[in-house]
Copies of this chain bind each other. A is one copy, B any other.
Amino acid sequence: MKLTYRREEDLKLRNMSLVSLTTDFGDLYPAAMKAVILGINPEVQIVDVTHSIRQAEIREGAFALYSLVPYFPPKTVHVGIVDPGVGTSRRALAIKAGKTGQEQYFVGPDNGLLIPAARRLGEMEIYKITNRDFMLKSGISATFHGRDIFAPVGAHLSGGLEIEKVGPKISDFVDLDFGNFGIDGPFLIGEVIFADSFGNVITNIPEDVILKFSAFGSQVEVNGRQAPFVQTYGFAGQEEPLILIGSHGFLEIAVNGGNAALKFGLKNGDRVAIKII
């Protein structure tokens, strides 16, 4: 989707690159990462995916990154840091994923955080970051590898560094998936993988599986509570529960104008059982 209505020569001198940040750092710490990134690559675009992942909730961070990765352009470098093992022996990774010409890059700890997003793009090449040339020159702290290792390596990748330069290629890595789902007798079974800031509960059940099980307009029971399966929030009454295919492409439990996580008492990892009634 290019700007075809614009003179091509307007664009040919530019080559803006893109770094995304996904962390559990809250306030203040992300700015240190941005300072480091812009000191290395002054013209990069930085997008905050979120800094509000609950502390040390790797699976939640993995889902945030996974859900957004299809919308980013090729060459994007995703720096993801939910890193309870910082300063211990856990490895630091850089990953190249996707078809030639469509690759995106990932930088972060070896704890599974980056894997679902990278795998979603196709083939992965995984490297262990060992080359100190691409880390912060002023020293590596024991508690903030986001600033001292991941931000500078991400900035260098965004500037065109060949990923092979960061360290040796590896084939073992800590994996992570979003759990099991499927149809079990009269039930469609899955798991909660994320609750967003509005209390919408996102499950691990993909669009195609729910559409095989049920059709828009049917009435279902979600963990024993009645709700319609509809296309969008506006098709349920105010404060009424509903299920829909969310914008992430997964079955989502919502309350129109309300908080489904509270109403259903559901949190990350909880089981969801849906039955047509």
The 8 Å CB contact of A50, one of B1, B28, B55, B84, is B28
The verdict on A49 contacting B31 (CB below 8 Å), with A143-B244, A257-B56 known, is yes
Q: CA separation between A42 and B1, bound complex, in Å?
A: 11
What is the 8 Å Cβ interface bit string for chain A, positions 1-45, against chain B (1 contact, 0 not)? 111011000110111101010000011110110111011111101
Shortest Cβ distance from A258 into B: residue:
B55
- Of B41, B50, B84, which contacts A31 at CB under 8 A? B50
When the two chains form their complex, are residues A3 and B257 in contact, meaning their CB atoms are under 8 A apart? no
Q: Which residues of B contact A26 (CB under 8 A)?
A: 196-198
Which of A182-190, A218-226, A231-239 faces chain B?
A231-239
Interface string of A160-172 (1 = CB under 8 A from B): 1110010000000
Q: Which residues in B have their C-beta under 8 angstroms from that of A211?
A: none
Given B15, B138, B144, B156, which contacts A70 in the complex, CB threshold below 8 Å?
Answer: B138
Q: How many interface residues does chain A have, given as a range?
A: 35 or more
Report chain B residues within 8 Å CB of A152: 1
With contacts A1-B40, A36-B71 taken as known, whether A232 is within 8 angstroms of B88 at the C-beta atoms is yes
Contact at B38–A45, with CB atoms within 8 Å?
yes
Taking A55-B198, A257-B55, A257-B56 as contacts, is the C-beta distance between A159 and B32 under 8 angstroms? no
Within 8 A of B (CB), among A127-164: 137-138, 141-144, 147, 152, 156, 159-162
Report chain B residues within 8 Å CB of A11.
43
- Tell whether A32 pairs with B71 under 8 Å between CB atoms, given A1-B152, A38-B18: yes
Q: Is the interface of A mostly helix, strand, loop or mixed?
A: loop
Q: Which of B52, B76, B88, B197 contacts A234 (CB 8 A)?
A: B88
- CB pair A39 B87 closer than 8 Å: no
Within 8 A of B (CB), among A229-276: 231-235, 244-247, 257
Task: Knowing A3-B160, A160-B6, say if A49 contacts B28 (CB, 8 Å).
Answer: yes
Q: Measuring CB to CB, which residues of chain A are less than 8 angstroms from any residue of chain B?
A: 1-3, 5-6, 10-11, 13-16, 18, 20, 26-29, 31-32, 34-36, 38-43, 45, 47-50, 52, 55-56, 64, 67-68, 70-73, 76, 84-88, 137-138, 141-144, 147, 152, 156, 159-162, 165, 196-198, 231-235, 244-247, 257
5 contacts between A and B (CB under 8 A): A1-B39, A20-B31, A27-B52, A27-B197, A28-B64
Given contacts A11-B43, A16-B42, A38-B73, 10 further A-B contacts (CB under 8 A): A1-B152, A16-B43, A20-B31, A26-B196, A35-B73, A38-B47, A55-B257, A86-B234, A87-B235, A142-B231
